[in-house]
């Protein structure tokens, strides 16, 4: 199980700025001490370093502290299909819970720090910390809802709607971190965006160009400024 240290050099959940996202607000300081004993931390992952491969046995779940992670499956022809992106404060690895083996491969998109919660210890914590169990259920439910929304988006929406929806999703997730929802750096390449959205790299580039012409965004390579967030939200939810 690959693990990573806190980006700020601490080894305490209490001092980590991500804990409001990873952990329930009702969790007491003394309870966080129980978590600190359980959570595994190690060296940061480098870009393209893998957390787990498809088929690996389920060892637990992982929280992103800094950086970003992509989840992907390998199609029958050997090509990669990206199934999700995980940003700081988000937990991944649930895909291995049902059958005891991961159905995705999780890979760092850039230098990434993660924390690992071993499965056997997570079961113990769920009994002693019921607030934590409920919070994990909420996180799983949120991920399922996002997956369902993305399936609906890919089946019906135009290229512009798909790209707008991804930008709005990233904006919303950064807002939960108390970070700027309108200025950020994309951790994934345009090729990875296209792979995730079912579009070609050329289409992604054209959509970004149209968004800039319409003054919806300003883009400098991976640095993005959302100039008209409300319009992007409207576009991403428009069924026409």
pLDDT in tens, the chain (240 residues): 443 334 344 555 555 655 554 554 444 445 555 566 667 777 899 999 999 999 999 998 898 989 999 999 998 898 999 999 999 888 899 899 889 999 999 999 999 999 888 887 777 777 777 777 677 777 777 777 777 777 777 776 899 999 999 999 999 989 988 889 999 999 999 999 999 999 999 999 999 999 999 999 999 999 999 999 999 999 988 754
Same domain, 95 and 126: yes
| Domain endpoint, select from 114, 149, 184 | 149
| Domain endpoint, select from 108, 123, 149 | 149
Q: How many domains does the chain have?
A: 2
Paired residues of 106 in beta bridges? 52, 71
Q: How far is the C-alpha of 115 from the C-alpha of 6, rounded, in Å?
A: 8
Same domain, 84 and 133: yes
| Domain endpoint, select from 149, 172, 196 | 149
Q: How far is the C-alpha of 5 from the C-alpha of 42, rounded, in Å?
A: 5
CATH of the domain at 213: 1.10.10.10
DSSP characters for 86-154?
E-TT-EE-GGGTTTSB-SSEEEESSSBEEEEEEHHHHHHHHHH-HHHHHHHHHHHHHHHHHHHHHHHHH
Same domain, 93 and 137: yes
Residue 4 lies in a domain: no
| H or E element in which residue 71 lies | strand 69-74
| H or E element in which residue 23 lies | none
Same domain, 140 and 176: no
Contact 41, 77 (CB under 8 A): no
């Amino acid at each position: 199980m690959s693990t990573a240290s806190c980006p700020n050099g601490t080894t305490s959940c209490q001092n980590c700025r991500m804990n409001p996202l990873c952990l329930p607000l009702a969790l007491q300081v003394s309870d966080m001490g129980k978590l600190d004993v359980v959570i595994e931390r190690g060296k940061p992952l480098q870009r393209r370093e893998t957390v787990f491969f498809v088929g690996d046995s389920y060892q637990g779940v992982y929280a992103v502290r800094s950086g970003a992670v992509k989840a992907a499956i390998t199609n029958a022809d050997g090509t990669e299909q990206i199934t999700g992106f995980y940003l700081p404060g988000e937990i991944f690895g649930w895909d291995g819970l049902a059958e005891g083996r991961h159905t995705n491969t999780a890979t760092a998109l850039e230098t990434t720090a993660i924390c690992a919660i071993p499965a056997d210890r997570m079961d113990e914590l769920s009994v002693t910390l019921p607030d934590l169990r409920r919070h994990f259920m909420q996180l799983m439910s949120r991920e399922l809802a996002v997956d369902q929304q993305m399936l609906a988006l890919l089946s019906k929406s135009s290229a512009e709607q798909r790209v707008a929806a991804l930008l709005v999703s990233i904006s919303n997730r950064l807002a939960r971190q108390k970070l700027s929802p309108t200025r950020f750096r994309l951790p994934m390449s345009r090729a990875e965006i296209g792979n995730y959205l079912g579009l070609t790299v050329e289409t992604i580039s054209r959509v970004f160009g149209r968004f800039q012409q319409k003054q919806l965004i300003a883009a400098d390579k991976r640095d993005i400024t959302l100039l008209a967030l409300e319009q992007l939200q409207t576009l991403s939810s428009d069924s026409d």
